[in-house]
Structure 1
Amino acid sequence: MSRVLLIDDDIGLSALLKEYLEGEGFQVDAVHDGETGVRRALDGGYAIVVLDVMLPLVNGIEVLRRIRETSQIPVLMLTGRGDDLDCVVGLELGADDYVPKPCTPRELVARLRAILRRAAQTGTPEEGLETLRAGPLTLWPERRRAHWQDRPLELTSTEFNLLEVLARHAGHIVSKETLSVQGLGRPLARYDRSIDVHLSSIRHKLGLLSDGRSWIQSVRSMGYQLIRE
């Protein structure tokens, strides 16, 4: 049973979502302020955090920033519909995905399961694990570990998913639709900027080629390509 921490100051909505999620097999704790949310997210042994942007005193963006200082726990953000800036900032700070409010509990469950499915660690011993290499990148998908130029590469769960998809097709263009389905676990939505923001973060972590180009190239109207060297 996956443990979910719900951070939302709307007590009525929290109770509704908690009841629905528990009916779907999750174990849910709800807190209603950012300070408590940060503390519980870092100390509570949760599998995932559902975080509302609009919180009093300490807003959701600041809560996410504090969580990401020390933890890569998956975070799904709840944002106001049409608040594109909140979505982009949240993704840039390391949120794994976002759902615009008002959202249906069914959609929330689907997003949670997609993130958790891709974040799950098998616990398989190191021997015999698949090793995926693309230039200076090495991935161990079952262990969710990544090295870049022989050094550990810190990635969020979603960043790992997207980089794995690109690595499996290194040297070839991967469409945004494929990246969304295989990396985010959902079809690409119209005007969805999630993939672009996640890949911008990955680019920053990888640095540049010797000629100044990014290791991840954007191919207009087609998708993205991980350079293999």
Structure 2
Amino acid sequence: MKTILLIEDDVTISELQRDYLEISGFKVDMAPDGEKGLQMSLSGTYDLIILDLMLPKLNGFEVCKKIREKKNIPILMVSSRREDIDVIRGLGLGADDYITKPFKPAELVARVKAHMARYDRLIGTTGTKNEIHIRGLRIEPDTRKVFVDETETMLTTKEFDLLYFLANHPNHVFSKDHLFEKIWGIDAMGDMQTVTVHIRKIREKIESNSADPTYIETVWGTGYRFKG
């Protein structure tokens, strides 16, 4: 049985979400604040984390950042705030998706299932893919590790998926629409800024100068291309 950690301070909301998730066959643990949620996320074994943004003691941004320093499991960020800057910041810190309150519990369950299925497909292919070596960059799909000049750099789940997809198709130009659908899925929450944020974060981690990238090139008016 898949286990979800639900970090939400509103008891009414968290119990409703828990009930819908349990009916759908998931085991759910709950944390009432950011500090407890961070502690449970790092000490426990979870298949996905649902993380509210506005939390007591430690906000969702800080919790997401600290989780991402240790783990790459899917994180679904939830908030009543609709500002683009919050979406960008959440995705930039490593959240895999962002859903705005109010939403139907069935929509939350659908998002959870979609992210788990995609993650299972990606980690369930051990031994079927070859490493990619391009100049000083090495990508290991079996272990989902990335090395730059033999030094490991930590990528989030979606950052790795996006980098691996581009590197697997060198010199091919992909539109932001195509990349979003391929990596996040057609029914995922977000828009093209999601792709832009993740490309920027990847460049910061693998490029010696992210302002003058040697791996992922922007093709203005079209999209992105990995230079093989």
Q: TM-score range by the shorter chain?
A: 0.7 to 0.9
Instruction: Give distance in 1, aligned partners of 2:150 and 2:225.
Output: 21
Distance 1:192 1:30, change over 3 A: farther
Is 1:135 equivalent to 2:137 in the alignment? no
Aligned pairs for 1:205-224 within 5 A = 205-208=205-208, 212-224=212-224
Q: What's the CA shift for 1:67?
A: 1.9
Percentage of identical aligned residues: 39
Would you say the 8 A contact 2:68–2:94 is kept in 1?
yes
Structure 2 unmatched ranges of 5 or more: none
Structure 2 Cα separation of the partners of residues 160 and 190 of structure 1: 18
Amino acid at match of 2:30: A
1:211 Cα deviation from its structure 2 partner: 10
Report the 3-state secondary structure (helix = DSSP H, G, I; strand = E; otherwise coil) of the residue aligned with 2:88. helix
Q: What do the CA deviations read for 1:8-53 (whole angstroms, capped 9, x no partner)?
A: 1111111111111112221111111111000000011111111000
Shift of 1:217: 1.7
| Deviation digits for residues 186-223 of structure 1 (CA, Å, limit 9, x no counterpart) | 35777542111111110101114799335212223321
* 1:74 counterpart = 2:95: no
- Separation in 2 of the partners of 1:165 and 1:187? 19
Post-superposition Cα deviations, 1:125-152, rounded to whole Å, max 9, x if no partner, equal xxx5311526234434344333334443
How far apart, in 1, do the equivalents of 2:132 and 2:66 lie?
32
TM-score if structure 1 supplies the norm length? 0.86
Offset at residue 6 of structure 1 (A) = 0.5
Structure 1: runs of 5+ lacking an equivalent:
none
Question: Contact 2:97–2:189 at 8 Å: present in 1 too?
Answer: no
User: Which residue of structure 2 lines up, in the alignment, with residue 113 of structure 1?
Assistant: 113
Map residues 180-199 of structure 1 onto 2, 5 A cutoff.
180-187=180-187, 191-199=191-199
Bigger CA drift: 74-83 or 30-39? Answer: 74-83
> So what's the TM-score if we normalise by structure 2?
0.87
Secondary structure of the equivalent of 1:29?
Answer: strand
- Residue 45 (structure 1) aligns with: 45
Distance 2:10 2:190 in 1: 28
Q: Which moved more, 1:59-68 or 1:44-53?
A: 59-68
Q: CA deviation at 1:77?
A: 0.5
Moved more, 48-57 or 186-195: 186-195
Query: Offset at 1:119?
Result: 2.7
Q: Does 1:161 align with 2:161?
A: yes
Gap change, CA 1:146 and 1:209, over 3 Å in 2: same
Is the partner of 1:118 in helix, strand or coil? helix
2-structure distance, mates of 1:81, 1:97: 14
Q: List, as ranges, runs of 4+ consecutive aligned residues in structure 1 with deviation greater than 6 Å.
A: none
Q: Is the 8 A contact 2:203 2:213 kept in 1?
A: no
Distance between the aligned counterparts of 2:30 and 2:187, measured in 1? 29
CA contact (8 A) 2:97 2:190 kept: no
Tell me how large the CA RMSD over aligned residues is.
2.5
Aligned residues: 225
